Amino acid sequence: MSQSFSIGGLLRRPEAGAFLGLVAVLIFFGIFGGVAFLKPAGMSSWLNVAANLGIIAIPVGLLMIAGELDISVGAMVPFGAMTTAIIAGHWDQSIWLAIVVTLSFALVIGLVNGLLVIRTAVPSLIVTLGTLFAVQGIVLGMTVLIAKSTSVALKTEGPAKAIFGDFIPVVFKGQLQSIVVWWLLAAAAYVFFVHFSRRGNWIFAMGGDKVSARNAGIPTERMTMLLFVLSATSAAFVGMCQAIQFNSAQVAGGQSFIFNSIISVVIGGVLLTGGFGSVVGIFFGTITFAVVNQGIYYTDFDRNWSALIIGVLLLIAVLLNNTFRKMALTHAPKKK
Amino acid sequence: MKLARKLMAASAVAMMATGAMAADIAVIGGSNDDAFWNIIKKGLDDATPGIVANGGSVNYLRLVNYDNFAPDVVQLIRTAISMEVDGLVIPNWVPEAEDPAIKDAMAAGIKVILMNAGGADKARELGAINYVGSDEYVAGVAGGEYFASHGQKNVLCVNTIPGAANLEARCQGVIDGMTAGGGTAAQLPLPSTSFGDATAVAEAIKAELLKDETIDGIITISAGDADSAAVGIDQAGKTGATMLGSFDLNQAGLDRIKGSTQMFAIDQQPYLQGYLAASLLASAIDFGTSLPTFPVLTGPGIVDASNIDATLAGVAKGAR
């Protein structure tokens, strides 16, 4: 890089706003939540939530940068949990088989989403709304048909438990879920993919103007398919890890991931209209969202007001982010 | 020849007489893919042979789905009236929609029992024979008293869907039951952003336990939330110190009770709702019995270490 290091330059990076939003809420809860919130037990509390959400939020955010939406992730989480629990729990098959089958099915659903969006030109919000309901129906129908219940228990032992759904020993007093490692690895891989490879620029170009992007020779259809496959498998992966972690899967639930992932992405500085954003920003946005949600339990505020405080803090975080983005975009370097 | 004809006539009269007396019952219930209603159906199926032995019949009218809920239920009540049944077992889910149809059924001479939903006051108001079901508040009180009598001092009722009247009643019952037993209890309403995210629920419970060291009891409003709570308690390092209870049952929860990492679960015992509602109604129609117990509460039934093996046997037979 040719530019030299400076604090001003750092502040003008696209993810700086998201980072400052995070710092602001950390200070808020440092004051009102006390030290318990920043000790290992408290930190793991929001890191675990951020990891589960973050694995889904990054591909959802990339889709939004590319000008698409995927809300079927809300059904893919219970889908992943239930498929794993039925194969490894109800049928008592190998957990590895369950993992492979779960992720393969998710890949197929992602392909269906992508194909429908490309072929029908129906807005992806509507297409994935359809698959959201369809997958929910499949999960409920098949689960009751197979297991005669809406809740299936799952006992996992050995390496699969440790890798996908256990608490990491020693570090953080054994309070971090193993999914946190997956989240960090995934985030690093996405940073490389989006910001240091040619394909990353394709995503931004698609969100800016899809027709021009295609005319410029970008394989927009293949990229769209890839992004939908990523979001579907990521959501199923999170569901699978939760089933292994909590030894049980329910047909309901997972819906909160739809809204929460979109909120995290927007806090992270991605424009709802597409074409602008960064993986690191989404990463910080997810942590901000998790901190605000979990921090509330360390404070003395009456719990009936939790949602209000969460809403106000999230708004402040987004406003901070926007202010800094404007400052960054309008900045003109002084002549030397 | 004459004798034979007389005998035939007599038996025909006898058959007509039993036909008029026997209880033809219609039962309206939830959809096929609803696990809870399949347990109620098991109760109905077990009560049916006795009713059939007295010349009656049981017809189970199920909702296909819950998409068009109130109109579909009313339609099923109208169907039962047109079938000219003698008795009707009906959950009063949507009183404002169902009440007129239930009154029409009574006007047509059909005897009615409310089951599962509606409550005793509604049954009295409509003039139903009885109400067979549970009372969420009473179930909550039982949970609170259970905690208090086992030495718990400070209990948290985790509500993942704050604002739902029946769940608020559960938590209010727990609070009143604990207070009566000399302890304290509070409701923890979780924001909707955490509903359905097991990690968020577990971490919320862990955080509350870390913040308030005196909490020695957690109760969740659903069996699924108890799965999260078990992990939250474990992560706070409070296993054995903070006891876990739940409303409703699932396999993972029963396994925890068996392995003594969960203290108890409160069951509304749907099997009894199906079994008792059908038998009570048939007996009232056939023999004119009337039960002074009103309402007939099928819950709360507490499942804990003392009866877990019998409960698991019931699960295997589809009755729990």
Tokens of B152: 């718990």
Query: Is residue A2 in some structural domain?
Result: no
Regarding whether B116 and B160 lie in a shared domain, the answer is: no
Tokens at residue A316, please?
Answer: 């402040």
In a domain, A133, yes or no: yes
Mean pLDDT confidence for A100-115: 97
Distance CA A220, CA A214 (A): 6
pTM over 0.90: no
Three-state SS at B89: strand
The answer to whether the CB atoms of A310 and B228 lie below 8 A apart is no
* Rounded average pLDDT over B207-222: 92
Q: Is residue B315 part of a domain?
A: no
**Alpha carbon of B202: minimum distance to chain A alpha carbons (Å):** 9
Same domain, B130 and B278: yes
HEC assignment per residue over B1-47? CHHHHHHHHHHHHHHHHHHHHCCEEEEEECCCCCHHHHHHHHHHHHH
Structural domain boundaries, residue B25: 2-134+270-299
B284-296 pLDDT per residue, tens: 999 999 999 999 9
Long-range contacts of B96-105 (CB under 8 A, 24+ apart): B97/B70, B97/B71, B97/B73, B98/B70, B98/B73, B98/B74, B99/B126, B101/B74, B101/B77, B102/B77, B102/B126, B102/B128, B104/B77, B104/B78, B105/B77, B105/B80, B105/B81
**ipTM for the complex?**
0.71
A230 within some domain: yes
User: Residue range B127-153: average pLDDT?
Assistant: 95
Note whether residue B45 is domain-resident.
Answer: yes
Say whether residue B38 is in contact with chain A using an 8 A CB cutoff. Answer: yes
Does the pLDDT value for residue B155 go beyond 80? yes
Does the residue B306 lie in any domain?
Answer: no
What is the CB-side half-sphere exposure of residue A109 using CA atoms within 13 A? 33
- Establish if A26 belongs to a structural domain: yes
Residues paired with B154 in a beta bridge: B184
Confidence of residue B306 (pLDDT cuts 50, 70, 90): very high
A240 inside domain: yes
Check whether residue B197 and residue B179 sit in a common domain.
yes
Q: How many helices (H) and strands (E) does chain B have?
A: 12, 12
Touching check for B106 and chain A: CB below 8 Å? no
**Length, in residues, of chain A:** 336
List the beta bridge partners of residue B155: B185, B217
Chain B residues within 8 A of A46 when measuring between CB atoms? 203
Q: How many domains does chain A have?
A: 1
Q: Does residue B59 register a pLDDT over 60?
A: yes
Confirm whether B97 is domain-assigned: yes
Mean pLDDT of B13-35: 69
State pLDDT tens for residues B101-114.
Answer: 999 999 999 999 99
Confidence band, pLDDT 50/70/90 cuts, at residue A84: very high
Compare all CA atoms of chain B with the CA of A255 and give the residue at the minimum distance: B196
CATH label of the domain that carries residue A152 = 1.10.3470
Tell me: do B203 and B285 sit in the same domain: no
Which residues of chain A have a CB within 8 Å of the CB of B312?
A: none
Range of A270's domain?
Answer: 15-328
User: How many domains are contained in chain B?
Assistant: 2
Cβ atoms of residues B23 and B282 within 8 Å: yes
Q: How confident is the model at residue A148 (pLDDT cuts 50, 70, 90)?
A: confident
The pLDDT confidence band at residue A42, using thresholds 50, 70 and 90, is: confident
CB contact under 8 A, A246 and B210: no
Predicted confidence band of residue A141 (pLDDT cuts 50, 70, 90): confident
Judgement on whether residues B118 and B166 belong to the same structural domain of the protein: no
Q: Do residues B162 and B230 both lie within one domain? A: yes
User: b/e map of A324-333 (b: 16 or more CB within 10 Å)?
Assistant: bbeebeeeee
Whole-angstrom Cα distance, residue B298 to residue B142?
A: 13
List the CATH number of the domain containing B13: 3.40.50.2300
**Residue B61 forms part of a structural domain:** yes
The overall average pLDDT reported for chain A is 88
- Mean pLDDT on A204-230: 90
Is there a single domain that holds both residue B169 and residue B60?
Answer: no
Same domain, B92 and B183: no
Q: Tell me the mean pLDDT in the region A200-213.
A: 87
What is the average per-residue pLDDT within B219-237?
Answer: 92
- How many CB atoms neighbour CB B306 within 10 A? 10
Residue B312, in any domain of the structure: no
User: Which residues on A lie below 8 Å from B38 (Cβ)?
Assistant: 148
Final residue before a domain boundary, out of B224, B244, B267: B267
Instruction: Read off the tokens for B186.
Output: 């509070």
Residue A37's pLDDT band, with cuts at 50, 70 and 90, is: confident
Task: Flag whether pLDDT at A207 surpasses 70.
Answer: yes
Candidate from B33, B38, B224 with C-beta closest to A140: B33
Answer yes or no: do B78 and B168 share one domain. no
The band of A311, judged by pLDDT with boundaries at 50, 70 and 90, is confident
Considering only CB atoms, A310 lies closest to which of B32, B193, B206, namely B193
Residue whose structure tokens are 């049980």? A248
**Interface A-B: count of C-beta contacts within 8 A:** 127
Residue B80 located in a structural domain: yes
